Amino acid sequence: MKTFSWIPEPEPRQKEYLKEVISEYLDISHSDIKPCCIGAMFIEVIITGPLKNMYQCLVKCSCGKKLLGFTYDGSESEVVKSERPTEDKTDV
């Protein structure tokens, strides 16, 4: 299950379209991404750009652990940057 939050809140038609596009991208390109805890993945979408067509997305587990970050360019209909957090390999 995916739970979305929006900054700022888009219009309903845009919201449904973005949910579909983002979910499809995650299901196809990052199907291996799963939350580490029981529950939903949280997807925070920040809408930016002079035309409000750039979407910065942060995918997190319910515990707050970052799973993936990516930027979607709505004018080009493509993901322009995607990054996974690096594992901290330091010994305690």
Sign of the C-alpha dihedral computed for residues 54, 17, 9 and 57 taken in this order: negative
Kind of pairing, strands 54-60 and 2-7?
Answer: unpaired
Residue 45, SS3? strand
Q: How confident is the model at residue 15 (pLDDT cuts 50, 70, 90)?
A: very high
Would you say the pTM of this structure is higher than 0.95? Answer: no
**Minimal CA–CA distance to 47: which of 66, 71, 67, 16?**
71
Is 78 a residue whose pLDDT tops 90? no
Residue 9, SS3? coil
pLDDT at position 87 is 60
Say which residue the tokens 């080009």 belong to: 76
